[in-house]
Structure 1
């Protein structure tokens, strides 16, 4: 490969590996590479790329969804989810371990962050599971694995960013994530059922007569009322054609504050902390988006995407073989890079390859998000592993071993989607 290809790649790994801010590191790579190999006004390229990257109207939804998640994190929302789910799963093989999976799935429907989903659900479920005698490794693995659904099930912060960078409809991406997300939920629960039938270490469920249990189940569903209201406002307004994603996010923030006011958790301190948290996360993501736009432009001037794409195309892989190769690359990169870096580094190279193989941009978005989910649970930089470690105090090695089955389920899910792209495409196809 020419020096114009090798140098930016080496610089990228050196700068990001040094612990520098991702946004500044990406800008540094782009500026250095253009200064070394191209005689063009770098300052003008930088300013134009940053403006183009941040001028998308769809980015307005980003801080609003983050604010909604920050507010929910400080409410009693997850407590209600646990109370509603617990009677329904108590007598299943695996018992209350399913509250981790279903709790993360429900919370992901109104939160766009994997780490926030894992933390919010884990604070309620992990202590309850260990108190009742459930295996710690099973509890940690199901929490870390299911917590990744915060990225896949809409609304998703990372879907918005991918949509902006790839010029793909965010609304179609949201629709595309629903079916794969629910399928992963069922596959995770299926594994917990199989494990319980093999290991047989699930604590005995509390005894109750059939009539009393069903009464308890339907009574507990009242706790889902805030969730149903919020989901109805958020998803109903978008897919009902009443609001754009940005407008729906604004409505959801107002609804969340109303729910918190009704339950008595809408305090001035909660609002201030949520706004500060939102400002921090949104600023960080804004810097990364701006830097990613510039880096993509710089790499185009250097011809790096075309060079790497040409090398991969020379292998003459089948579409499924290409997906397998990309998955291996993403798994390896995910061990060293967090999800946002993974997307901005590879998107200009991988997207043309995948679309040339017959997959569309919406499908690739879901593939890429599942790859990012895997990065969330692969050491040494898997964010969900650190969240669970903070909740449990267990070693990273113990948590990593616990999450292996869920990682393998995600790998199987990728090949299932590659073999049957309609799983992703049919619901977005219903949106004009």
Structure 2
């Protein structure tokens, strides 16, 4: 059977089931069972598929997903994240567009602590947007910065999606986590520059208002109490990986422990906070692992039937430069993000895209960084980007989806600029990875 027929037989039903509203994990389950029976020799093929999937879920490399989720939930439930925003507020002062800059700064800081973009949108959207509108901020400058900056959780460690990417594509998770740091910061800088320029050209978007002066003593005290201790949490995840002291799984464990210890030191680790953090993170982790298991089996069917190799050969033989093909793949990810969630996109496309990138001789970590930016871009892209609907849920009454779409567009453009910069300057990704301690 030709590879394109195999792809059509198993991919088309998968997409159709997702469009009908069936949960992603169950869509994969149905397609895998039917596909395994039809294409892998009946029940013996299905049994082998199940055994291989169980083995893949027992992998130690999946541990960081649950532990990163615990970190994020503990930060939110113990209100350490709120303290972070209050301290940032003290430092920004009377800068025009200060609340928009707070959204970007808060997005970066939350990203280094939680790795949960939807949680960041929910928190920043529910706390900052009402205050912004109260101060006369127009929707492009109240909704947009939060949509853009909260998505940085995908790009700055700890990032659960980076872990999934590493598992599905069989790349080094540690190298991916280090490689995405500079791209994430680059995106934050682009957002800040856009806000500064737009607020200068159109002051009515973010009216200035009086802010009570905060003595330097209070700023330093708030920094020492609420921000400096968080550097220990950041080091316990990123630092130990960079220095070669721990694997990503071990770093996730030290990060979760450091987060819970910090909450305990602040006397906020009550039984309710702890149990809620564990319960919520377990719910999300189980959902992610179910989807990963389905995608693993899906990948095995593609490999068994030879569809993966057929697609790689067909694409690599196209009369187009490898660079153009790589950009086309990134564009396809953004397009899919307009209609699907990040996880299904990753699990469907990575088994196809990564072998092609390697075949072309490109650094797969460089491609992974651009891929994650594209995933973030897709999640904020109309009409069905997941982040847009989270924002709609927490935005003030009277906010329409059209308002959210318009607010997101400038930050989508910033993301596209970031992708092009990474494409032409791959050292932004590869250089930090090269300095990692082995």
Q: Same fold (TM over 0.5)?
A: yes
Equivalent in the alignment of 1:426: 431
**1:30 matches 2:29:** no
Instruction: Please report how far the alpha carbon of residue 313 of structure 1 lies from its aligned counterpart in structure 2 after TM superposition.
Output: 2.9
1:152-167 pair list within 5 angstroms:
152-167=155-170
The gaps in structure 1 that reach 5 residues or longer are none
* Mapped pair 1:100 → 2:103: yes
Residue among 19, 22, 29 paired with 1:20: 22
In 1: Cα distance, 2:216 partner to 2:302 partner:
60
Select between 400-409 and 88-97 the one with higher mean Cα deviation.
Answer: 88-97
Distance 1:130 1:324 in 2: 38
**For the Cα contact (< 8 Å) 2:93–2:211, is it kept in 1?**
no
Displacement, 1:214?
5.0
> Aligned to 1:128, which of 122, 131, 154?
131
Given the superposition, is the C-alpha separation of residues 272 and 207 from structure 1 closer, same or farther in structure 2, using an over 3 Å criterion? closer
Q: State the match for 2:414 in structure 1.
A: 409
C-alpha spacing 1:304/1:147, structure 2 compared with 1 (3 Å): same
Q: Distance in 2 between matches of 1:133 and 1:265?
A: 35
Q: Which residue, 368, 371, 393 being the options, matches 2:371?
A: 368
TM-score (ref. length: structure 1): 0.93
1:25 deviation in Å? 1.2
CA contact (8 A) 1:163 1:173 kept: yes
Contact 2:316–2:360 (CA under 8 A) maintained in structure 1? no
Q: TM (normalized to structure 2)?
A: 0.92
CA RMSD across the alignment: 2.1
Question: In the alignment, which residue of structure 1 is the partner of 2:52?
Answer: 49
- 1:45–1:294 Cα contact (<8 Å) kept: no
Rounded to whole Å, the distance in 2 between the matches of 1:254 and 1:296 is 34
- Structure 2 residue matching 1:426: 3-state secondary structure: helix
Q: Report Cα offsets for 1:185-219 as digits up to 9, x if no partner.
A: 0000000011111111232243678xx76555444
**Cα distance, 1:311 vs. partner?**
3.6
Distance 1:384 1:142 in 2: 12
Aligned length: 430
* Maintained 8 Å contact 2:94/2:211: no
Are the counterparts in 2 of residues 90 and 96 from structure 1 also a CA contact under 8 Å?
no
CA contact (8 A) 2:36 2:46 kept: no
- The whole-number CA distance in structure 2 between the counterparts of 1:278 and 1:215 is 38
In 2, Cα distance between the equivalents of 1:242 and 1:429? 16
How far has the Cα of 1:298 moved from its partner? Answer: 0.3
CA distance in 2 between counterparts of 1:133 and 1:229 reads 38
Deviates more, 1:349-358 or 1:286-295: 349-358
Distance of 1:402 and 1:430 partners within structure 2:
38
Equivalent residue for 1:148?
Answer: 151
Question: Is the partner of 2:268 in helix, strand or coil?
Answer: coil
Are residue 177 (structure 1) and residue 158 (structure 2) matched?
Answer: no
Mapped contact 2:37–2:46 kept (Cα < 8 A): no
Residue 59 (structure 1) aligned with residue 62 (structure 2): yes
| 1:182-193 correspondence to structure 2 within 5 Å | 182-193=185-196
| Preserved contact between residue 53 and residue 165 of structure 1 (Cα < 8 Å) | no
Structure 2, unmatched stretches of 5+, are none
TM-superposed deviation, 1:254: 2.5
Partner of 1:204: 208
Q: Does 1:268 align with 2:265?
A: no
Shift of 1:79: 2.0
What CA deviation, in whole Å up to 9, does each residue of 1:372-398 have, x standing for no partner? 111211234322112211111422221
- Other-structure match for 1:354: 357
3-state SS in 2 of match to 1:179: helix
Correspondent of 1:300 among 290, 298, 303: 303
Q: 1:230 to 1:123 in 2, by over 3 A?
A: farther
Per mean C-alpha deviation after superposition, the further-off stretch among 212-221 and 248-257 is 212-221
1:339 aligns to what? 342
Question: Corresponding residue for 1:324?
Answer: 327
Measured against aligned partners, the alpha-carbon deviations of 1:295-341 in whole angstroms (never above 9, x if no partner) come to 00101122322333344334322233112211221122112211010
